[in-house]
Amino acid sequence: MSVLGTIIRPMAECGIDSNGDCVSAKPILPETAEIIWGGLASLIIFYLLVRFAGPAIKKGLAARTARIQAELDGAAEAKATAAAEATQIRAAKGDIAGERARILAEADAQAAAVLEDGRVRVKQELADLETRAVAEIAATGNRAGDELRAEIARLSNAAVDHVVTGSLDDATHQELIESFISRVGANS
């Protein structure tokens, strides 16, 4: 450090202490020439800063102010939008109960219509089934009657043949067959 202090200040202005450091004769105020040259250098630097850096600083601060204002305006707009949406949601919430009641009423009406339609269809199907069952019973009865008549005719024919062959002649036998055929034909 003592070498650096020696280079900066001439030896006449600086004294060396026991550590080898340069010690000035005026410990508080620097030399007059140093004050003059330092003051001029400071004034030149301040002038250059004001002249060239001042407009850039003003422009930067103005841009910062504009950016902050835009953010504030955006925040205010977002707040207003959120308030409007909250109002719409609250209004829609009130309509939810009415809409729910309307939907439930429509569902109940549709369910009643489907139920009534099902009942009508079931009644119609039951009536159709009953009609078919009655017709089937009648057809089965007719078939059974026809089968019974045919069986009776067959059995009577066999019995007549048995009785007639043993006791009747051919002419009587032929007459009995024709009368039986004419009776069965009249019953059908």
DSSP string, 78-138: HHHHHHHHHHHHHHHHHHHHHHHHHHHHHHHHHHHHHHHHHHHHHHHHHHHHHHHHHHHHH
Q: Let me know if residue 7 belongs to a domain.
A: no
Q: By residue range, what is the domain housing residue 100?
A: 31-187
In a domain, 21, yes or no: no
Residue 140 lies in a domain: yes
pLDDT, tens digit only, all 188 positions of the chain:
444 444 444 445 667 778 877 776 666 787 788 889 999 999 999 999 999 999 999 999 999 999 999 999 999 999 999 999 988 888 777 677 778 888 999 999 999 999 999 999 999 999 999 999 998 998 888 888 888 888 888 888 777 777 756 666 777 778 878 888 888 777 76
Please report whether residue 125 resides in a domain.
yes
Inter-residue contact 176 to 157 (CB < 8 Å): no
* Structure token pair of residue 164: 């007639």
In a domain, 40, yes or no: yes
Domain for residue 69, yes or no? yes
Residue 173 forms part of a structural domain? yes
For residue 8, tell me if it sits in a domain: no
- Give me the number of domains the chain comprises: 1
